[in-house]
């Protein structure tokens, strides 16, 4: 598949997701290549008057900058603590619509926005499908700079292989909140809830990329079209 094909597939996924937005909604604006295409699509519809009175809540500084450039009115969770619908991407998605997110480094804000949302629509190409999370992607783990080495050792002690995320210029990646990210490989994760609990309980870890029970809809797009999977339609949910 060429890079042009991939862009077209991601654009199709973005259009499909933005179709869920209705005038008057508070909308969470995700981060990542596919999610930013959805932001552009939303800006276009607002500019043409096909949607009105939509307010966005961005999940990263980069998303905020793009939204402002496109003329999308923005608000905050303090002004609107409940979000009607959020559109975001994911790095890996299992059959139960559990996610690994944070490849772009905005996992903390993305998780805050997701947990405040009535609906979370995840858009992805077919390559993001996974039978077991952790098979293809490490779990991004955001830690405060103070004592990050102790978090590194903790992750090793529970079976992980953490690596400090670096930028292309060789400097350490810093999140919008000024934190460090440890990308931690666990291999295929047998018990997502156990691992998430271990990470949640560790002081110094401010967020991790395991998003449990947050996606209400996943839209997969490929060359042959798009598939909408609703959590409400899954067995055992």
Tokens representing residue 26 in the block: 């508070």
d(CA 214, CA 175): 22
d(CA 204, CA 148): 7
> Is residue 60 helix, strand or coil?
coil
How many angstroms from the chain centroid is the CA of residue 100? 8
Instruction: Specify whether 110 is catalytic.
Output: yes
Query: Which regions of 8-145 does DSSP assign to beta strands (E)?
Result: 26-29, 55-58, 83-88, 92-93, 99-100, 117-125, 139-143
Among candidate residues 146, 149, 89, the one with its CA nearest the CA of residue 123: 89
User: Which position among 16, 64, 92, 110 bears the catalytic label?
Assistant: 110
Catalytic residues: 110
């Amino acid at each position: 598949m060429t890079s042009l094909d991939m862009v077209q597939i991601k654009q199709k996924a973005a259009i499909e997701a933005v179709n869920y937005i209705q005038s008057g909604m508070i909308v969470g604006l995700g981060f990542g290549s596919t999610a930013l295409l959805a932001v552009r699509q939303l800006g276009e519809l607002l500019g043409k008057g096909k949607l009105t009175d939509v307010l966005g809540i961005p999940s990263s500084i980069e998303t905020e900058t793009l939204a402002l450039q496109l003329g999308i009115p923005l608000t905050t969770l303090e002004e609107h603590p409940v979000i009607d619908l959020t559109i975001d991407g994911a790095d890996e998605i299992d059959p139960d619509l559990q996610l690994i997110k944070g490849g772009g480094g905005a996992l903390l804000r993305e998780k805050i926005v997701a947990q405040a949302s009535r609906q979370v629509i995840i858009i992805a190409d077919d390559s993001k499908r996974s039978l077991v999370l952790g098979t293809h992607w490490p779990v991004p783990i955001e830690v405060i700079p103070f004592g990050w080495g102790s978090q590194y050792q903790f992750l090793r002690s529970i079976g992980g292989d953490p690596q400090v995320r670096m930028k292309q210029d060789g400097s350490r990646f810093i999140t919008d909140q000024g934190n460090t990210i440890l990308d931690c490989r666990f291999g295929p994760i047998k018990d997502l809830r156990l691992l998430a609990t271990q990470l949640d309980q560790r002081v110094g870890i401010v967020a991790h990329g395991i998003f449990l029970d947050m996606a209400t809809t996943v839209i997969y797009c490929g060359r042959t079209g798009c598939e909408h999977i609703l959590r409400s339609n899954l067995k055992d949910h």
